Copies of this chain bind each other. A is one copy, B any other.
Amino acid sequence: TKTFHIVVLGGDGIGPEVCDQSVRLLQQMQPHLDGVEFHLDPHDVGVGEYQRSGEALPDSAFEACLASDAVLLGAMGLPNVRYPNGKEIAPQLDLRERLQLYGGVRPIQLFHESDTPLKDYGAGDIDFVLVRESTEGLFYGRDAVADLSADEATNQLRISRQASERVCRLSFELARRRGGKKKVSLIDKANVLSTMVYFRHIFDEVAKDFPDVTAEHVYVDAMALFMVRRPHDFDVMVTENMFGDILSDLAAGIVGGMGMAPSGDIGDNAAVFQPSHGSAPDIAGRSLANPIAMHLSTAMMLDWLDHPETKRGAEALKAAVADVLSDPNQRTADMGGKLSTVEITDRISRSL
C-alpha cells in the first residue's frame, strides 16, 4: 500500500467549508483506489491563526507542507485584517515562495453554456490552462514597505533565468501531456519592458527542446482582449506572476467565476492545490460557497500524485463534477443556483 501524506489547510472564511467537502469526497474514494491510502494532516493557518498565535503560517505547518506529498488549501486572508504595513495576510504567497512553487497552473474549462457570460460558447469550447510564474516577477517586490509621506514608492519586477526556464519547461511539458492543440502562448510585454525581452528570449530557448509543440508570443494587453473574443484559440499560456494574477481571474470570469476555477501551485519538491477564489467572509459558515473549484483542485492533486490509481480517481472525480454541471439547474448561489455547498457535493458524491 502506498500512503500519501496530504496536508489540509482549511484556512479562513469559506476555506474550511469547501475543504471539508473535498476531504469527504477523498474519503469516499479511498476504498475504491487500489493500494492507495491517504493520510490527512490538518493544520491551522491564515488570519485566524495569526490572530491566535501571531503567525499566519506557523513553522509546524510549514514543515508539514514541506514533508508532505501534497497540500490541499481552502482559502486564506480576510480583507479587513492586515499586517501593520497595510498588506493582506496571505500565507499562500509565502508558501509559493518558500516552497518554490513556481508553476501556478490554472485550468480553465467551460462545463455548460449557461456558465459563461460570452455569446456562442458551449461545454468544452473553452479549454485552456494558464501557467502563472509564482515565485518572482512583480511579486518579487512585495516585501517593500511604502513610506506614505515620501515623494514616491517603488517595487521591483524581477525575472530570473532559472525561474523562467523552469516555468516555461513546465508549460511545454503540460502542452505535450494534454495532447490537444499542443501550443504554448507566452504572454509578455516585450515591446516595452526589458524583463519581458529577457523572458521571451528564455522562452524561445526552451521552445527549441519541444519541436512538436507550437510556440507563440502574445502581448499581455492583446491577450486580455483575446480572452473575450477568441478564447477557443488557446491551449497553454505562460506568463509573469502579476500578469498571471490578472489574466487568471479574467479567465475564471469567462467560465463562471472564481468558484469554478481550480489551481495547483507546483514546485519540484512540493505542490499546493487550492481554489482560485478567496475566503469570501460575507458568506462564510452558511454553506453558500461554491465548492466546485475546490473539488477540481482536488482532482488536480490526485492527477499530480502520479499513481495509476490516484490518476484514475482524478478522472472519476472530474467526470462526476462534469456530470453534475451538465444540468444547469445544479448550481450554487454565486452562479444563480439554489444548491448549498453540501448539497452540490452530495450530487457529485452520488455521481462518483
Residues on A facing B (Cβ under 8 Å): 77, 79, 85-88, 90, 93, 117-119, 138-139, 141-142, 144-146, 148, 150-162, 189-195, 197-199, 201, 220-222, 224-229, 242-243, 245-250, 252-254, 257-258
Contacts and interface: CB of A to CB of B under 8 A. Distances in A.
16 contacts: A79-B191, A86-B190, A87-B197, A93-B192, A117-B118, A117-B119, A141-B157, A141-B193, A150-B198, A151-B161, A155-B194, A157-B157, A224-B247, A224-B250, A227-B253, A250-B250
A190 B88 CA distance: 8
A220 B245 CA distance: 9
A150 B197 CA distance: 12
Contacts of A117: 118-119, 228-229
Given A138-B157, A224-B249, A224-B250, 9 more contacts: A150-B198, A151-B162, A152-B159, A153-B159, A153-B195, A155-B193, A155-B194, A156-B157, A224-B246
B148 A85 contact: no
| Oligomeric state, in copies | 2
Nearest to A200: B86
Contacts of A142: 192-194
Contacts of A194: 85, 87, 141-142, 144-146, 153, 155
Nearest to A222: B249
Nearest to A148: B201
A158 to B, nearest CB: 5
Nearest to A228: B253
A189 B199 CA distance: 23
A249 B229 contact: no
Contacts of A150: 161, 198
Contacts of A249: 221-222, 224-225
B246 A220 contact: yes
A154 B154 contact: no
Contact of A246 (B144, B243, B258): B243
A308 B243 CA distance: 43
B193 A257 contact: no
A157 to B, nearest CB: 5
Contacts of A159: 152-154
Contact of A193 (B138, B197, B220): B138
B158 A152 contact: yes
Contacts of A85: 194, 197
A87 B191 contact: yes
Given A193-B155, A224-B246, A148 B198 contact: yes
Nearest to A217: B79
Given A229-B117, A246-B246, A90 B191 contact: yes
Contacts of A228: 117-118, 228, 250, 253-254
Contacts of A191: 77, 79, 87-88, 90
